[in-house]
């Protein structure tokens, strides 16, 4: 979420970011000098830094934030140890010395480096040093840098979480401004009354999804709008000269539009998923191979695929919170078979209605598929007792600022153009 404040406030954020970097680099140096030998030493060293009058700024940073940066430093050191143990091959082959010492090979194994100044940098707070306003529209930084109150712009997902679930706040400086990222503890649980309803969902291009009762949720209009914008900007980019200023500008605009579209999509998918979970006791979906889907070159389809992927992630997330099983079934003839008698009724993509010659059952094609999905989920549950849950995939990569795995393939694709 973007932070809106005064220039003076941004300067204070810069100070805080610089201090975070200072803490990290100081600890790496102390490790090289042999003063820090463990994570605990690193924590203790934070205090030494804060008490050192030569570095008055170190004390200004919130004490838990100092620890967070000590953790970053220690993570870099640990990575190095691990690489050494695993004997990660170096990029340039370095002949081991005769005496077997590791000197000279160090840098090749990710020897912890001092970080230099970069525009893209961040400072991390844990559970103190900041406050959210009651309506969650303002963030106050309360440590001694006194950066003050910032208005929060962007995603409203923050409302879904309780304050005590926010474990860390990262202030990130980017080329276009300052952002706050909230890291959420995903162990939330909510009570939900049983609704006595089970549903199967069939996703498709015509409707975002159709459930097993025939209810349809359409694709939001902004999917198409975003698609048009991206197409236009892609065209514009392809017309610019390589290496020209206009090309950089065009690429930036395209990047920003991609980001915007994906944020809105995530927001929308989150709400749709929560609605489904709250009104059902069991949700069945098709186990679509998302990795292949996102690679798709057809833009409209790839936008939809990304939205489904997000939707599924949120379904599984809210499923865990509300204790609603979300069961993924293999997509095997779900749109072909008759949900009433099981006969395979072949149809092309353009056949919108399912008509069964054997039992006479007639339904919307997607509704028939949704019923099949629900039925195979229930079958799966009954034939493999206690194993139903195992189909619910584990950790999700859900993140509140819209930058998630799904966006990466599109970004890569864009670069190659």
The residues binding Zn ion (CB under 5 A) are 338, 340-341, 343, 356, 358-359, 361
Q: Is the dihedral of CA 194, 195, 197, 198 positive or negative?
A: negative
Q: How far is the CB of 215 from Zn ion (least distance, A)?
A: 22
Instruction: Name which of 161 and 361 has its Cβ closer to Zn ion.
Output: 361
Q: What does the alpha-carbon distance between residue 301 and residue 390 come to, in Å, rounded to a whole number?
A: 29
Torsion angle of alpha carbons 20, 21, 27, 29, nearest 10°? -160
Sheet holding 177-184, edge to edge: 121-125, 166-174, 177-184, 2-4, 148-153, 138-141, 130-132
What SS3 state is found at 209? strand
Residue 168: how many other CB atoms lie within 10 Å: 17
Instruction: Name which of 232 and 358 has its Cβ closer to Zn ion.
Output: 358
Query: What contacts 247, CB < 8 A, 6 or more positions away?
Result: 237, 240, 241
Nearest to 168 by CA among 198, 123, 199: 123
Instruction: Name which of 205 and 359 has its Cβ closer to Zn ion.
Output: 359
Cα–Cα distances (Å) from 63 to 31, 149, 163, 317, in that order, read 20, 20, 20, 33
Q: How far is the CB of 363 from Zn ion (least distance, A)?
A: 10
Q: How far is the CB of 356 from Zn ion (least distance, A)?
A: 3
Torsion angle of alpha carbons 2, 7, 8, 11, nearest 10°? 70
Q: How far is the CB of 331 from Zn ion (least distance, A)?
A: 20
Q: How far is the CB of 341 from Zn ion (least distance, A)?
A: 3
Q: What's the half-sphere exposure (Cβ side, CA atoms, 13 Å) at 78? A: 10
Q: How far is the CB of 343 from Zn ion (least distance, A)?
A: 5
Q: What does the alpha-carbon distance between residue 69 and residue 24 come to, in Å, rounded to a whole number?
A: 5
Instruction: Name which of 313 and 366 has its Cβ closer to Zn ion.
Output: 366
Q: How far is the CB of 366 from Zn ion (least distance, A)?
A: 17
Q: What does the alpha-carbon distance between residue 329 and residue 326 come to, in Å, rounded to a whole number?
A: 10
Q: How far is the CB of 332 from Zn ion (least distance, A)?
A: 17
Query: What contacts 268, CB < 8 A, 6 or more positions away?
Result: 220, 222, 307
């Amino acid at each position: 979420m973007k932070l809106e404040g005064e220039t003076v406030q941004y300067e204070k954020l810069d100070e805080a970011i610089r201090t975070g970097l200072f803490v990290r680099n100081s600890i790496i140096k102390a490790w090289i000098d042999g003063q820090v030998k463990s994570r605990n030493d690193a924590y203790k060293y934070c205090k030494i830094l804060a008490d050192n009058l030569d570095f008055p700024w170190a004390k200004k940073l919130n004490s838990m934030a100092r620890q967070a940066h000590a953790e970053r430093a220690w993570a870099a050191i640990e990575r190095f140890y691990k690489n050494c143990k695993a004997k990660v091959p170096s990029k340039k082959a370095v002949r081991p010395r005769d005496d077997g010492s590791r000197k000279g090979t160090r840098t090749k194994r990710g020897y912890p480096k001092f970080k230099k100044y970069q525009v893209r940098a961040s400072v991390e707070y844990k559970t103190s040093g900041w406050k959210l306003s009651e309506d969650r529209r303002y963030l106050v930084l309360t440590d001694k840098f006194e950066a003050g109150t910032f208005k929060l712009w962007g995603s409203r997902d923050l409302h879904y979480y309780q304050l005590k679930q926010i474990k860390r706040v990262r202030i990130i400086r980017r080329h276009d401004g300052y952002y706050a990222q909230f890291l959420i503890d995903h162990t939330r649980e909510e009570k939900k009354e049983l609704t006595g309803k089970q549903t199967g969902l069939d996703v498709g291009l015509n409707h975002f999804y159709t459930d097993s009762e025939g209810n349809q949720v359409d694709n939001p209009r902004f999917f198409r709008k975003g698609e048009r914008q991206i197409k236009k900007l892609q065209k514009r980019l392809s017309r610019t000269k390589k290496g020209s200023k206009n090309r950089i500008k065009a690429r930036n605009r395209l990047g920003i539009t991609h980001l915007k579209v994906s944020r809105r999509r995530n927001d929308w998918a989150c709400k749709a998923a929560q609605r489904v979970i709250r009104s059902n006791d069991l949700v069945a979906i098709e186990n679509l191979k998302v990795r292949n889907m996102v690679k798709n070159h057809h833009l409209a389809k790839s936008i939809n695929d990304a939205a489904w992927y997000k939707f599924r992630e949120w379904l599984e997330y809210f499923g865990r919170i509300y204790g609603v099983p979300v069961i993924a079934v293999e997509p095997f003839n779900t749109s072909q078979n008759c949900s009433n008698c099981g006969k395979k009724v072949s149809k092309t993509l353009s056949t919108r209605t399912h008509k069964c010659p054997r039992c006479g059952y007639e339904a919307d094609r997607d509704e028939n598929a949704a019923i099949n999905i629900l039925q195979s989920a229930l079958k799966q549950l009954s034939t493999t007792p206690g194993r139903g849950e195992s189909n619910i995939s584990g950790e999700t990569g859900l993140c509140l600022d819209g930058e998630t795995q799904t966006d990466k393939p599109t970004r890569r694709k864009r670069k190659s153009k």
